[in-house]
A = this chain, B = another copy of it.
Amino acid sequence: MLALKKTQSGAGYLDLVEGSFPVLEGDEVLVKVWSAGICGSDVLIEKDRHFYKAPVTLGHEFSGVIEAVGPDVRTVKVGDRIAADIETRSGWLGVTRNGAFASHMSVPEAQIFVYPETVSLDDICFTEPMVATVHAMEERHTVMSGDFVVVVGPGPMGLLGVQMARFKGAGTIVVIGRKGIDERRLAIAKQVGANHVLYSEDNPEAAIFKLSEGRGADFVLECSATATGFQHGIDCARRSPEGRGGAGKISVISLWGEPITVQPDAISLYQLDLRGSWSWNGPETWRRAVELVQSGSFDFSSVLTGRYALADWRTAFDSFQSCQDCKVFLYPNGADWQS
């Protein structure tokens, strides 16, 4: 079985190699992988800037169909269409335990969420990114109805963030991107619910204060992973220099991977609330995300711009990193064996 593996520690060492077929524990199931998304952390693992345990098959955003079950499995069955919480007793799937960049993987029964037939396997594969979105926009900070929301960075997380803001009843949603680089992604942003897209180069703060009649952004999702983006976030957030403070809520999910230069005085002076968001709050968050994926209220297909065979993983990774594509999926078993 071919598997895209981080073969050893260090920068690089990402290769499509022969991997052993999963052997099931009694309470595990064999999943035939439908699709597996490339995440920013996969890129960081390649660069050796994220934790992992080599050798390991990457791929922690996935959907698939159960092909076999261990003798102790009780609640799921062959044929079920599933996503799964990646925290298992023996490691994180696709990070420290073999994941989904291969034709098959094993998953403990307790992690599995079964979806109805009505949800496509491509949509199911957005479960993990939606977990991160729920955590950043409901659990760590909460978008409220009527909020003026700014999303800095129109990557996959930004485009899900736009939809989450829309779903939660945001009043106005603005996305900030870069001229040239982010054109395609900004076009998708408008398509999935942004009221306005602004260029990072054109003083977006001024536009935001004007659009919000001086109020600024009640809620900022900072997912630019750039210094300029971080600065936009703190500069456009709603200010409460007096009183209780905290009128400007900033959910920070960027990883920069290197030092950045910013002017942070607005944090103090305008009493901003920055909350970092990473991962999720246990099964609680997964449950919420599954509910949202099932709701049919999200347009995942517009975000999914790149569909690649596993053999084309290098092209897929490069296209994701260059921002030519938005969300990119690999299909280890092809894309013609299920609907």
Binding site for B on A (CB under 8 A): 87, 134-135, 138-140, 142, 144-146, 167-169, 171, 230, 241-246, 252-282, 287-292, 295, 297
Check A260–B264 contact: CB distance below 8 A. Answer: yes
Residues of B with C-beta under 8 A to A281 = 243-245
Interface of A is mostly: loop
Check A288–B146 contact: CB distance below 8 A. Answer: yes
A252 to chain B, nearest CB (A): 5
| A277 touches which of B168, B245, B275 (Cβ 8 Å) | B245
Q: A278-B241, A282-B243, A287-B146 are in contact. Are A264 and B256 (CB under 8 A)?
A: yes
Bound CA–CA A134/B144 (angstroms): 9
Residues of B with C-beta under 8 A to A167 = 145, 169
A311 to chain B, nearest CB (A): 32
Residues of B with C-beta under 8 A to A271 = 140, 275-279
| A242 touches which of B256, B279, B287, B295 (Cβ 8 Å) | B279
Check A276–B272 contact: CB distance below 8 A. Answer: yes
| A-B residue pairs in contact (CB < 8 Å), sample of 13 | A145-B167, A167-B169, A169-B291, A242-B278, A245-B275, A245-B276, A254-B264, A260-B261, A260-B262, A260-B264, A266-B276, A269-B278, A271-B278
Residues of B with C-beta under 8 A to A269 = 255, 276, 278
Check B140–A144 contact: CB distance below 8 A. Answer: no
For A256, the closest partner residue in chain B by CB is: B265
Check B241–A292 contact: CB distance below 8 A. Answer: no
A86 to chain B, nearest CB (A): 11
Residues of B with C-beta under 8 A to A258 = 263
Bound CA–CA A8/B257 (angstroms): 45
